[in-house]
Amino acid sequence: MGTCHSSPDRLLDASTLRDWAHTAVSDLITHIDEINRLNVFPVADSDTGANMLFTMRSALAEESAGASAPGCPGDVARVTAALSEGALNGARGNSGVILSQILRGIADVTASAAAESGGELPDIDVALLAAGLHRGVELVITSMGGEEIPGTIVSVLRAAAGAVEQCANGAEGVVAAIIAAGDAAVVALEKTPEQLDVLAAAGAVDAGGRGLLVLLDALRSTLTGEAPARAVYELSPRAVPFDQNGAATERRAPQFEVMYLLDGCDADAADTLRNRLAELGESVAIAAAPAATQGSYSVHVHTDDAGAAIETGLVAGQLSRIVVSALSSGRSGAAGLPAGSWTRERAVLAVVDGDGAAELFAGEGACVLQPGSDAVHPAADISAHQLVRAVVDTGAAQVMVIPNGYLAAEELVAGCTAAIGWGIDVVPIPTGSMVQGLAALAVHDPGRQAVDDGYTMARAAGAARHGSVRIATESALTWAGRCQPGDGLGIAGDEVLIVAADAATAAIGLLDLLLASGGELVTVLMGAGMDGDIRGILQQHVHDNHPGTELVTYRSGHRGDALLIGVE
């Protein structure tokens, strides 16, 4: 166990926790390849570092999204709760589930302390930190089925918790306790090959334990401004695969990793699910959400039958965020992704309004971010924090963002800048309407370099002439004359160019203007409240007056404009 060192005391308050989360993400990026190479248990799929990074990024994104929310921004109980919730919702792999439970352990004890004090909890003292780490040990073991396997991250976590507890008993400060925790973690980490045969055979320390050491060192550098020097851990060049009995083997790993969030599930159903998943595969982890959200779990399993694992979950409750990934037994880079990548190389994130639009864009392969249903104006309900969270949730190292006019420019820039700062390559595509977004998405090619893909998408969006039809709500003077409530307004370039008696007539006039210089394809998105009759009216008009032009319509269900029209 580490020795407590004398050091000036500093507070582990809300601001420090936020800074630590940022530092942890940065340091995991730095060490991701080292951690991935060490990943030989429970499956040698070289993704422990990537999974811990993804999970920590999700935790940070959740906390950042609520940082400006009303409440007590200086309350550590709120910060730790947000980090815990984000980690659970975004957990990836065994190591991600374990990390979410470590964060939950700290959140649980800070929530209890805040409740006992009857008010805001300004900081975490050494005794509370020790209790939180010990609670994390309990939760991790429970999530893994109640059995502790020596030589894993649990051994390293237990050693760190013991060191902090020793410092608490000695009335040491937080800085001294964190230094002791890191020192104890190193000792425990270097003992892991003695405790687990598969690690001894590989000549490796436990990958999850190495990741935990990164997190502890990140907290130390956050508090002191100085990062400790650590050895670089490598596999033995003569490593051979062993089974858990110490016998040489070439055991075939399961084909798939399956993860999902499970809601509406009681404890008995969760136990039944665990037993069934254990029959279907291995590396089963079921982590419960905090007491405030009882009945919610993060579920993980390695299996050859991904469909059965999902169907079993459906029996237990409602599923969301289902992720099925092919497992690889290769070393870092075997999946063909760049170093430090996520679960896939590139994704498109489209900001859309309306359930029909979400289905349309998702059907074309995009991830979608929708404004809240109660927003007065859709763009007013999307913040930079929400954008960052959505970028994180794509699971991609490179993300092409299609804002479609639903993000204020300052929020778009702030969100993309923040995501880039966390190691994600973000390329915003200038689309002012969902019809432009569809044009950009149509030419997206993940096989091209990101800069080439982004340029091609931006050029397609810019070449798509677009406008909208809106119903006037008051009397006003426009460039096309005076309008009255109920009139149809044809709008292009932020100017009213058509005033007509109804939406259909305004749409016909706007179509004629947009097609004046030709066009092969017209896309019409029908907003909420628009009836299907207008589809036939517009199809007939295009057929009679613009031969050779194809018209397609979709019921997007967006708010605001009655119709969105694009011409390519």
- Which residue did the predictor score with more confidence, 554 or 236? 554
Q: Give CA–CA dist 4/164, Å, rounded.
A: 8
Residue 377 has pLDDT above 60, yes or no: no
pLDDT score of 72: 45
Reported as a pLDDT band with limits 50, 70 and 90, residue 457 is very high
pLDDT score of 169: 94
Average pLDDT over residues 374-387: 62
Average pLDDT over residues 5-31: 79
Average pLDDT over residues 13-28: 90
- Tell me which fold the domain 9-230 belongs to: 1.25.40
pLDDT score of 170: 93
Q: Which of 236-240, 257-261, 552-556 has the lowest mean pLDDT?
A: 236-240
Tens of pLDDT, residue by residue over 63-84, are 877 654 444 456 899 999 999 9
Residue 33 has pLDDT above 50, yes or no: yes
Q: In 3-state terms, what secondary structure has residue 358? A: helix
Q: Give CA–CA dist 397/25, Å, rounded.
A: 14
Query: Do residues 402 and 348 lie in contact, with contact meaning Cβ atoms separated by under 8 Å?
Result: yes
- In the CATH scheme, what is the code of domain 255-327? 3.30.70
Average pLDDT over residues 364-374: 81
Residues with Cβ < 8 Å from 210, sequence gap 6 or more?
Answer: 31, 34, 35, 38, 189, 233
Mean pLDDT (the chain, rounded): 84
Tens of pLDDT, residue by residue over 511-546, are 999 998 888 999 999 988 888 788 899 999 999 999
Query: Do residues 109 and 76 lie in contact, with contact meaning Cβ atoms separated by under 8 Å?
Result: no
Q: Give CA–CA dist 440/519, Å, rounded.
A: 16
Q: Give CA–CA dist 196/241, Å, rounded.
A: 12
- Which residue did the predictor score with more confidence, 245 or 205? 205
Number of neighbours of residue 264 by Cβ within 10 angstroms: 11
Which range has highest mean pLDDT (118-122, 325-329, 413-417, 545-549)?
A: 545-549
Residue 280 has pLDDT above 60, yes or no: yes
Residue 247 has pLDDT above 60, yes or no: no
Average pLDDT over residues 235-242: 56
Average pLDDT over residues 448-454: 89
pLDDT score of 180: 95
pLDDT score of 237: 61
pLDDT score of 373: 59
pLDDT score of 179: 94
DSSP 110: H
Residue 244 has pLDDT above 60, yes or no: no
Two tokens at 446? 């993940």
DSSP 236: -
pLDDT score of 414: 80
Reported as a pLDDT band with limits 50, 70 and 90, residue 49 is confident
Tens of pLDDT, residue by residue over 93-111, are 888 899 999 999 999 999 9
Phi, psi for residue 459 in degrees, rounded to 5? -65, -40
Q: Give CA–CA dist 368/92, Å, rounded.
A: 20
Residue 249 has pLDDT above 70, yes or no: no
Query: Do residues 97 and 258 lie in contact, with contact meaning Cβ atoms separated by under 8 Å?
Result: no
Query: Do residues 13 and 19 lie in contact, with contact meaning Cβ atoms separated by under 8 Å?
Result: no
* Residues β-bridged to residue 60: none
Quick one: which of 370, 361, 367 has its CA closest to 347? 367
Average pLDDT over residues 312-333: 71
Express as a percent the part of the chain with pLDDT over 70.
Answer: 86
Q: Give CA–CA dist 175/5, Å, rounded.
A: 9
- Which residue did the predictor score with more confidence, 98 or 30? 98
Domain boundaries, given as residue ranges, for the chain:
9-230, 255-327, 346-460, 465-567
Torsion of CA 370, 374, 379, 384, to 10 degrees: -70
Residue 113 has pLDDT above 60, yes or no: yes
User: Sheet containing 550-555: which strands, arranged edge to edge?
Assistant: 495-500, 488-492, 465-471, 563-567, 521-526, 550-555
CB burial of 112-123 (b: ≥16 within 10 Å; e: otherwise) equals bbbeeeeeebeb
Reported as a pLDDT band with limits 50, 70 and 90, residue 32 is confident
Quick one: which of 187, 156, 561 has its CA closest to 378? 561
pLDDT score of 359: 92
Q: Give CA–CA dist 453/530, Å, rounded.
A: 35
Express as a percent the part of the chain with pLDDT over 90.
Answer: 40
Q: Give CA–CA dist 81/290, Å, rounded.
A: 9
Q: Which of 375-379, 483-487, 510-514 has the lowest mean pLDDT?
A: 375-379
Query: Do residues 568 and 439 lie in contact, with contact meaning Cβ atoms separated by under 8 Å?
Result: yes
Q: Which of 73-82, 83-92, 159-168 has the lowest mean pLDDT?
A: 73-82
* Residues β-bridged to residue 524: 553, 565
Quick one: which of 333, 335, 254, 337 has its CA closest to 300? 254
Residue 459 has pLDDT above 50, yes or no: yes
Residue 462 has pLDDT above 70, yes or no: yes
Residue 253 has pLDDT above 60, yes or no: yes
Number of neighbours of residue 1 by Cβ within 10 angstroms: 15
Phi, psi for residue 563 in degrees, rounded to 5? -140, 145
Quick one: which of 109, 112, 115 has its CA closest to 131? 109
Residues with Cβ < 8 Å from 182, sequence gap 6 or more?
Answer: 2, 160, 213, 216, 217, 220, 228
- In the CATH scheme, what is the code of domain 346-460? 3.40.50.10170
* Cα separation values, 180 from 61, 105, 208, 288, 357, Å: 29, 19, 19, 30, 53
Q: Give CA–CA dist 216/222, Å, rounded.
A: 10
Q: Give CA–CA dist 262/271, Å, rounded.
A: 13
Amino acid sitting at position 64: S
Q: In 3-state terms, what secondary structure has residue 349? A: strand
- Which residue did the predictor score with more confidence, 237 or 476? 476
pLDDT score of 343: 54
Quick one: which of 410, 382, 387, 407 has its CA closest to 399? 387
Residues with Cβ < 8 Å from 499, sequence gap 6 or more?
Answer: 472, 478, 480, 481, 482, 483, 487, 488, 489, 490, 506
Reported as a pLDDT band with limits 50, 70 and 90, residue 165 is very high
